[in-house]
Each structure stands twice: as C-alpha cells, then as structure tokens.
Amino acid sequence: MILVTGAAGFIGFHVAQRLLRDGESVHGLDSLNDYYDIGLKQARLNLLREHQGFTFHLADLVDAKTLARIFEDHKPDHVVNLAAQAGVRYSLANPKAYIDSNVTGFLNLLEACRSGPVKHLVFASSSSVYGLNTAMPFSVHQPTDHPVSLYAATKKANELMAHSHSHVYGLPATGLRLFTAYGPWGRPDMALFHFTRSILEGKPIDVYDQGRMQRDFTYIDDIAEGIVRTIHRPPAPDPAWRGDAPDPASSRAPFGSTISATTPRSNSCASSPSSRTASARRRSSASCPPSPPRCRSRTPTPPTSPATSASPPRPRSKPASAGSSSGTGAITGPDFGESIPPRSPYFLRR
C-alpha cells in the first residue's frame, strides 16, 4: 500500500490518480486546509473516490497521534509526502503555518515512517532551496545554504531532517526538488490562473521586474510520472562518498536529494514575485518585451483563494528513455520546471 499525503492537492491528486490507474492500493491523507478553495480539493477527492483502491484519511501531519494510528492500522509500504504549506509570498504573511506543516508535520511523518518500517519515503523538496545561487545550470552537487524565503528554508530543513533519519535509522528517503507545475486541476493562486482570469475579465496583468522575467513550467503529468518512477527505486548508501570531500548529491546513508526532470511546456513574460530571472537551464530564444501598456507593476500580497475550475488539459510529451547513473537517489538530471534542451535525457538513478 502506498500512502500519499496532500492527496487533495494539485500534485498529490495527480500522483494518486496515476497510481490508482496503475492498479496500486492508495491511501490518501489531507487536512483540507483553506489556503485556497476547499471546493477544488473536494472535487479532486471525488474523482479519486471513484477508484475502489482508494481510501481517504482526513488528517493533519501536525497531529502525531492520528498519524501514528494510521500507520499502525494500515502499515504503508511506501510513502509519498506531498503535503506542505505551499507558496513563497504567503510565508511573509503567515510564517507559523510553514513551521507547523513543513517542519513539525514532516518530523511526525519521519517518526511514523521509521516505526513502520517504510521501504521508501519520497518527499517533495523545492527548487526554492537554491536561493541566492546563480550558477547555471542548477545541480544537486551545489550547496544550498542561502534560502531567500521561509518556505525555502523549511524545504531545505526537510532534506536535512530526512538525511538524519536515513543515517540514524536506515530509512530510505529521496527528496525531489520540484519546479513550477501547471495543468488540469492546478492551484488557483498560481500565475497562469491569475493571467487567464485577468484576460477573461479584461483586466491588466500584473507584471514584475518590468516584464524582464522569464518563467518555465512543467506539465503535471510529467511530474507525476517522475514521482511514480521513483517510488519503487529506493536509494542505497554510496560506497564512494567521502567525508573529507562530501558531495551534497549522495551520502553513505540511504538518501538521495535530486533534481527531477522532464521537458518544460511554456515560458511566461509576466511573472509572480517568486520567479527568478536567471533560473532557467536554457533561456528561451525569444526575449520578453518590456511591460506592455496593459500590464502594471504591483506590490506583492498574499494569495487569495478564488473558486476556479480546472484549466483545460494539454497533451504532454513523453520523457526520453531512462538511462542510469552512479550514486544514490532516484531521479536526477535537468530539473522539472526550468528550460532544458530537448536532447537532455531523463535519468533514473539505480
């Protein structure tokens, strides 16, 4: 049985749905918080409930006793942690929510996994951990010690906490540094929804940094496929790892922190404040024009939760054939949300 936390969320829903279609038994866990429209989360759950292999638990990772009871009663073999307080801007308005969910909740999950025992914990880290790093392309071999938001700091903390549990208790764990996702059933606080809503309502689109930013997005099915491929490929200790020349990408513990990759789908000239100007692995050949007349600059504010329906689906491209590489971890190579050359392979670490 596979436990998927954050199952009513954007990525969690698609991962759970993919697993169910593959014939897996899936238990979904979600607190159904009101960060954005709960109706959208309920609608996702209704689709998951159409599968006989799906069981839902209304629970919060912060509730350690309830979480321990779920593990004791159902004994998941694998855990995919996609539950977290998301959003960079919102961490400015409600920092405590990030510590509660992303740190305390994650610790409770680690403790439940080691008591299981769980064969493999796959958890969502974030591209935000790269922070002030400007070296391109991003790499798991680079240090990530300068986060620029509390959200990023909590995701970095997740990687460190998971590694310590891997080292002390032998818990196989893989952290995936996911980049921006888009697609059907997406989060309404994301930029594409704001752009679309403004266009439909004839309103100006808010643009930051005078429209000079570029942002790439990854189609949700590609992200779900990468996560599903990771689940049954737990990392192993890397015998080549050296304490006198430590490589952040591997460990002598069964732990892997990796950048996950597929071909990106779109590039946006208008961008949210959380976007980075130079984070793309390969910049688009088309440069973004200056701010158009109908675009305006705006001071960042925490996202609201407008009710919205799913964005229309778009066909996704299949990743290149899997290859192999040395070391620990599950998926590496180019990242999920940045521009990459079409020839870039989709690596699977074995």
What average pLDDT does the structure give for the chain? Answer: 77
Beta pairing partners, 120:
78
What is the predicted pLDDT for the residue at 259?
Answer: 63
User: Which one is predicted more confidently, 39 or 188?
Assistant: 39
pLDDT of residue 177: 93
* pLDDT digit string, tens, across residues 273-283: 232 222 222 22
**Burial degree of 202 (CB within 10 A; 0-12, 13-18, 19+):** exposed
State yes or no: pLDDT of 329 exceeds 80: no
**pLDDT exceeds 90 at position 249:** no
Residue positions annotated with a catalytic role: 151
Per-residue pLDDT at 302 exceeds 50: no
List pLDDT tens digits, range 109-145: 999 999 888 999 999 999 999 999 988 888 899 999 9
Give the type of residue at 89.
R
**Of 276 and 255, which is predicted with more confidence?**
255
Determine the pLDDT at residue 260.
52
Nearest 5°: the CA angle 212, 296, 187 is: 80
What percent of the chain has a predicted confidence (pLDDT) above 70?
73
Kindly state the DSSP code that residue 205 receives in the 8-state scheme.
Answer: E
Q: Is residue 14 over pLDDT 90?
A: yes
**Encoded amino acid at 35, one letter:** Y
pLDDT at 132: 94
- pLDDT, tens digit, for every residue of 172-212? 999 999 988 999 999 888 888 888 889 999 999 888 778 88
Q: Provide the strand spans (E) within the chain.
A: 2-5, 26-30, 54-58, 78-81, 120-124, 173-177, 181-182, 205-206, 215-219, 255-259, 266-268, 295-296, 322-323, 331-332, 346-348
pLDDT band (50, 70, 90) for residue 307? very low
pLDDT at 296 over 80: no
CB-based contact 223:180 (threshold 8 Å): no
Query: pLDDT tens digits, residue range 331-350?
Result: 333 233 322 222 222 223 32
Query: Is the per-residue pLDDT at 310 higher than 90?
Result: no
Q: Is 333 helix (H, G, I), strand (E, B) or coil?
A: coil
* Of residues 8 and 209, more confidently modeled: 8
Lowest-confidence region among 102-116, 292-306, 322-336 = 322-336
Tens-place pLDDT, residues 208-227: 778 887 777 889 999 999 99
